[in-house]
Structure 1
C-alpha cells in the first residue's frame, strides 16, 4: 500500500514515502543522525523502527539488522522494509505474501521499495531519478524520486498521504538538533505534490541564506524597506521578520532577496 525511498547523502539520512493510507508519515519512517534510516511498510511492523535503529546504533549493518528483524517476526512474509546505514550500505526486503505488485531495489546509499503498486516501473523510476539527481539538495532529491514513482503509477489504489523525514547533524530548525525535515501530508488528493509545496515553504521559512546573494541594506533599498515596514506597522525589520518566521534569514546591514520579496508581497507590491 506504500512506496518509499530510504537514502543517505553526505551526513544526511532520510525517508520519503507516499501511500493510499491516512497519516502514512506517522508510521513508516525512522532515522537517526550518524546511525541510519528505515522504512517499515506493507503490513507494517512498527517495532522495526526502534529495534532497527538500536541494531544499527550497535554496529550492525543494514543487512544484519534486516535479517535480525525478520528472524524474530513470525509475520515476516507480510512485511516490507528498507534500511540505509550511515556509511551508505543499504538493504531492502519484500515478503512473499506482500500484495502485488511488490518489490524493491537497493544500491550504494539508497533503498526503494513498494507494495500494491501499479507495477515494477514505480521503483525503477524512483531509482533512476535518485541516481540522476545528485546535484539536488538531499530533501529535494528525495521528493523528486518520490514524485517519479507517483508519476509512474504509484499506489494502485490511489493517493492519500505522503511524508518526508530527514536528519542531519546540527541541521535542525535554527540549528537546534538533528531533525532537518519532518513534513507530513496526512490526507490530500495529491499528497506528493502537496509535499513538494510544503518543502518549498520550509525552505522559505527555515532555509539558509546564500551570503553571495545578500543585498546591502542602504540607499534607496534601505528607504524602500523602511517605508514598507512602516506601512505594515513595524519599526524594524527584526520585528516584522520575527512575526513572519523569517528571523533565520536576517543578516546585519544586508537583506536576503527572498525576505525582500516576501516583504514586498506582504505590502501588496509586485
Structure 2
C-alpha cells in the first residue's frame, strides 16, 4: 500500500473496568476498515492500527500485552523496529486501563491523538484536531455500556468533521470473557459496516439489533394476558403462524405459534416458558408487524 492510499481513519480504544469490556470503534473513508484497524483480547487489551497500517501490530501487540508489557512499552517495541514508523498510527489500551498512542510524522494532515485514563483517540487525514478532542471529551463525559459510549464518540468525531475525505465504513469490536454467542469466545460485539454513505448511523442500527437478538441489555417483561395476548394473536394471524380465534388467552395453540415466530426471528435467547414476554420482542412485533398485511 503506497502512502497516498493509506486509510484516513479516526478511532477510539477504551476499557470499562467495571464490566471488564475492552473495545475499539473506528470510522474511515476506506472500504471495510473493520478488517484492518481493530484488535482486542479480553483480559489483555485493545489496539487500533491505522494510517499506513501495519496489521502485524495487532496480533504482535496483543502478544506483548499478554506477556505483561504496559501499553506504552508495547507502542515503543512495535514502532521501534518498524522502518516505516513515521507513516504509522497506533492506539493501545491495556487491561489495567493504561493508554498510549503513536502518530508518525509522515501521517497525512491533520493527524494526532489524545489519550486519557482508560482510553485513547487517534486519527489521520481529519478535518482538524477537534475530531479527536471531541471524541475524548465525549468518552469522559458519557456513562453506560461501553459499546454505546464508543459509538457516541464516533458520532461526535464525525460531527466535528471526521475524515476530511468523507465517509465509507465503520466498525465496532468489544470483547469480554465468555462474551460471545454461547459463551465460547470473548467476541462480545463484532459489527461492521463495510461500504455505506452513513456508516456510523448504520453501525448504531446494527448495535440496536445486536441488543435485540442477543439480549445483552437489561431486560423487562410483560405478562401475556388479555389485550397483550390479543395483540400478539392478531399479528401472528397476519403472519400465518396462528390460525385460531383472537381470544386474549395464552393457550397452547397461541404459545406454540409464538414459539415458532420467535424461532424464525432468532429470538431464542429472549424466549420464556412462564407466560411472560420480553418487552423488546413485543416492541419489535408492534414496530415491524403491527400493520403487516395478512399472509395467504
1:95 matched residue in structure 2: 104
2:200 matched residue in structure 1: 192
SS at match of 1:52: helix
Structure 1 residue 265: deviation in Å?
4.0
Q: Are 1:264 and 2:249 matched, yes or no?
A: no
Distance, in Å, in 1 between the alignment partners of 2:113 and 2:216 is 34
The one of 241, 246, 262 equivalent to 2:267 is: 246
- Backbone CA RMSD of aligned residues: 1.7
**Residues 39 and 48 of structure 2 are in contact (CA less than 8 Å); yes or no, is this contact kept in structure 1?**
yes
Name whichever of 155-164 and 202-211 sits farther off.
202-211
Distance, in Å, in 2 between the alignment partners of 1:195 and 1:203 is 12
1:130 matched residue in structure 2: 139
2:235 matched residue in structure 1: 228
Equivalent residue pairs, number: 268
Flag the 1:58–1:19 CA change in 2: closer, same or farther, 3 A. Answer: same
Q: Are 1:158 and 2:166 matched, yes or no?
A: yes
Flag the 1:160–1:19 CA change in 2: closer, same or farther, 3 A. Answer: same
Could you state the TM-score of these two structures normalised by the residue count of structure 1? 0.94
Structure 1 residue 170: deviation in Å?
2.1
Name whichever of 242-251 and 10-19 sits farther off.
242-251
Could you state the TM-score of these two structures normalised by the residue count of structure 2? 0.86
Distance, in Å, in 1 between the alignment partners of 2:87 and 2:287 is 51
Structure 1 residue 67: deviation in Å?
0.6
SS at match of 1:236: helix
Flag the 1:237–1:2 CA change in 2: closer, same or farther, 3 A. Answer: same
Distance, in Å, in 1 between the alignment partners of 2:288 and 2:12 is 37
Question: Which 5+ residue runs of structure 2 have no aligned equivalent?
Answer: 1-7, 242-255
Structure 1 residue 72: deviation in Å?
1.3
Q: Are 1:53 and 2:66 matched, yes or no?
A: no
Flag the 1:186–1:226 CA change in 2: closer, same or farther, 3 A. Answer: same
SS at match of 1:46: coil
Q: Are 1:214 and 2:236 matched, yes or no?
A: no
**Residues 209 and 249 of structure 1 are in contact (CA less than 8 Å); yes or no, is this contact kept in structure 2?**
no
TM-superposition CA deviations, 1:12-48 (whole Å, max 9, x none): 0010001111110100010001100000001000000
Question: Which 5+ residue runs of structure 1 have no aligned equivalent?
Answer: none
SS at match of 1:201: helix
Structure 1 residue 231: deviation in Å?
3.8
Q: Are 1:67 and 2:76 matched, yes or no?
A: yes
1:112 matched residue in structure 2: 121
2:32 matched residue in structure 1: 23
Structure 1 residue 268: deviation in Å?
3.0
Flag the 1:185–1:95 CA change in 2: closer, same or farther, 3 A. Answer: same
Distance, in Å, in 2 between the alignment partners of 1:145 and 1:224 is 39
Structure 1 residue 191: deviation in Å?
1.3
Structure 1 residue 227: deviation in Å?
4.4
Distance, in Å, in 1 between the alignment partners of 2:145 and 2:228 is 31
TM-superposition CA deviations, 1:105-135 (whole Å, max 9, x none): 11111010001111110000000100000x2
Structure 1 residue 103: deviation in Å?
0.6
